[in-house]
Amino acid sequence: MVSGQRRKRELLSVIALTLICTVFGLYYYARSNGSSVSEAEQVFKPFKAGQSMNPLLDEVHEPVGTLTRAEDGRQRANATLLSLVRNSELRGLIGTMRDIERTFNSKFNYPWTFINDEPFTEEFRQRTQAITNAECRYEVIPKEQWDTPAWIDPDLVEVSGNILVEDRISYAKMQSYHRMCRWNSGMFYKHPALQKVKWYWRVEPSTRYYCSIDYDVFKYMEDNDKTYGYVINIYDSPQSIRTLWPTTLEFIAEHPEYVHPNNAMAWLTENSRPNHNVLANGYSTCHFWSNFEIGDMDFFRSKAYDSYFDYLDQAGGFFYERWGDAPVHSIALGLFLDKSKIHWFKDIGYLHQPYYNCPASPKCRGCEAGKFTDAGYLNRENCIDKFFKYVHAD
Ligand SMILES: Nc1nc2c(ncn2[C@@H]2O[C@H](COP(=O)(O)OP(=O)(O)OP(=O)(O)O)[C@@H](O)[C@H]2O)c(=O)[nH]1
Ligand SMILES: *[C@@H]1O[C@H](CO)[C@@H](O)[C@H](O)[C@H]1NC(C)=O
Ligand SMILES: *[C@@H]1O[C@H](CO)[C@@H](O)[C@H](O)[C@H]1NC(C)=O
Ligand SMILES: [Mg+2]
């Protein structure tokens, strides 16, 4: 009974906090005249004197010394292509697999690992294996990794879901989406099938790859002492992560030892879209768009990351808000990792609607060099220049 009362009090305080944040946010937004108009113009500001306006239009130099073709398998890195995917997404996945096999994997033959919350169909297995010479693994997520945790209060999920709907957060009430974000935040690297694997390249169905990649990207990470690679850096909907940053600050106050001296805090808290920082309570919302990632799972398996995830999980924001795995990964990388270990794969031409990474290179076909999006007004969502300003620049 006592805990029932307590839960009610917690419920009320979460609702109250959300309301306070909303009012505060609206106030600041009004004060700022809603005038983030200049934002779009700022997107491609030069990072340094001498660099062009759009870094994608600078000449792409292929990394040297990493042309370790591994047809014999001996030189391959400890890595897999990894896709969490539903049976219903088979068509979209096939297109993406063809792109990746053509541009990269037919040269290196890294295994594919497909993961699903239900068993893959025979059709799914046959049609995906038919696209690649590499080994395909088909895995199911253990129920306890996917289920909504027992401490999540369904009534509170319902009430807070209504607030997310009012804030026009997509997939606000789709519980599987919340579970997916949680799994991609704190579970993928714990999946039994990945325990003996270090590197992963995350692949989402219906994404496109445009440029031939003639070196082993995993070896590149290893040889250059990198931990995490991304292609796109964008702002998030601050209303989906209102308490993520405050919860993070609580965690690092308890565990200051996890914060790396060469962290990217300045990038996480930059203030070029002030209403984002207000609504997200201090976080710029700029993040690595995690539908593409090339990363070292041992980072996520570290004590710092794993206890951070547990802390977030207990706080409940994967369900009461709509915390995405992209801001969660990004904040953790920005705080716990030496920022020099983060790599922009400028040379990997990529699309996940509605955003591209498209370099100027003769190795690319099918995307327009330098274009970030087909919808002009969305250019302001690009924050890669902020990453360069605060992280790569020094
Ligand atoms: N097995 C499984 N995979 C899922 C589920 N929900 C999402 N996914 C996968 O998780 C990844 C992200 O889901 P998406 O629906 O693409 O989410 P999103 O990229 O935020 O949203 P979109 O802009 O609609 O693409 C994709 O690889 C999906 O295939 C689910 O319920 N089960
Ligand atoms: C709002 O707009 C007015 C007039 O354009 C300007 O003088 C003022 O500085 C602006 N305020 C803020 C906070 O940007
Ligand atoms: C691959 O990496 C995992 C995680 O670091 C490790 O446990 C495993 O031993 C590695 N396998 C090989 C063959 O090096
Ligand atoms: Mg997607």
Measured in Å, residue 11 CA sits from the centre of ligand 4 at 31
Environment class of residue 57 by beta-carbon count within 10 Å: exposed (0-12), middle (13-18) or buried (19+)? Answer: middle
Model pLDDT, residue 25: 61
Predicted local confidence at residue 309, as pLDDT: 98
Distance of alpha carbon 246 from alpha carbon 283, whole angstroms: 9
Grade residue 75 by pLDDT with cuts at 50, 70 and 90. Answer: confident
Q: Are the C-beta atoms of 227 and 337 separated by less than 8 Å?
A: yes
- Pocket of ligand 1, beta carbon within 6 A: 84-86, 89, 116-117, 176-177, 180, 204-205, 291
Ranges of each domain in the chain: 4-390
Mutation probe of ligand 3 site: the residue of 74, 198, 301 with most atoms within 8 A of C-beta: 198
Residue with the larger pLDDT of the pair 61 and 227: 227
Q: How confident is the model at residue 53 (pLDDT cuts 50, 70, 90)?
A: low
User: Does the pLDDT value for residue 49 go beyond 60?
Assistant: no
Report whether pLDDT(218) > 60.
yes
Whether residue 352 is predicted with pLDDT greater than 70 in this model: the reply is yes
**Mean pLDDT confidence for 147-165:** 98
User: Which two tokens mark 121?
Assistant: 């169909």
What pLDDT does 209 receive?
98
Question: Does the CB atom of residue 76 touch ligand 3 within 6 A?
Answer: no
CATH classification for the domain delimited by 4-390, as one of 3.10.20.740, 2.60.40.420, 3.30.950.10, 3.90.550.10: 3.90.550.10
pLDDT for 64 beyond 80: no
Both tokens of residue 327? 């801001």
Q: How confident is the model at residue 56 (pLDDT cuts 50, 70, 90)?
A: confident
Q: Looking at per-residue confidence, does 54 or 349 come out higher?
A: 349
Q: Which letter does DSSP use for residue 89 in this model? A: G
Q: What percent of the chain has pLDDT over 70?
A: 87
| pLDDT at site 331 | 98
pLDDT of residue 326: 98
pLDDT of res. 125: 98
CA dihedral for 202, 205, 207, 212, sign (positive or negative) = positive
Strand, helix or coil for residue 18? helix
Q: Which atom of ligand 1 is nearest to the CA of 89?
A: 29
Q: Is the pLDDT of residue 30 over 90?
A: no
- In this prediction, residue 16 carries a pLDDT of 78
Mean pLDDT, the chain, rounded, equals 90
Q: Which of 239, 217, 203 is nearest to 96 (CA)?
A: 203
CA of 234 to the centre of ligand 4 (A): 14
Q: Is residue 269 within 8 Å of 356, Cβ to Cβ?
A: no
Strand-strand pairing, 79-84 and 342-344: unpaired
Q: Sorting pLDDT into bands at 50, 70 and 90, what band is 246? A: very high
Give catalytic status of residue 204 as yes or no: no
The pLDDT value recorded for residue 45 is: 34
Pocket perturbation via mutation, ligand 1, pick of 81, 82, 85 by most ligand atoms within 8 A of CB: 85
Between CA 27 and CA 31, with CA 28 as vertex, the angle to 5 degrees is: 90
Rounded average pLDDT over 320-335: 98
- Structure confidence at residue 18 (pLDDT): 78
User: 3-class SS at 364?
Assistant: strand
Among the ranges given (8-17, 171-180, 328-337), the one the predictor scored with the smallest mean pLDDT: 8-17
CA geometry: angle at 383 spanning 378 and 388, to 5°? Answer: 150
Which among 303, 311, 330 is positioned nearest to 248, based on CA atoms? Answer: 311
> Is the pLDDT reported for residue 85 higher than 90?
yes
**Ligand 1 atom nearest to CA at 353:** 23
Segment 136-154 shows an average pLDDT of: 98
Confidence band of 179 (pLDDT split at 50, 70, 90): very high
Quote the pLDDT of residue 28: 60
Q: Is 121 exposed, middle or buried (0-12, 13-18, 19+ CB in 10 A)?
A: middle
Mean pLDDT of 232-255: 98
267-306: per-residue pLDDT in tens?
Answer: 999 999 999 999 999 999 999 999 999 999 999 999 999 9
* Averaged pLDDT, 175-191: 98
The reported pLDDT for the residue numbered 6 is: 77
Ligand 2: list residues with CB < 6 Å.
Answer: 31-33, 35
pLDDT: which is higher, 15 or 366? 366
Residue-wise pLDDT for 353-389, tens only, equals: 999 999 999 999 999 999 999 999 999 999 999 999 9
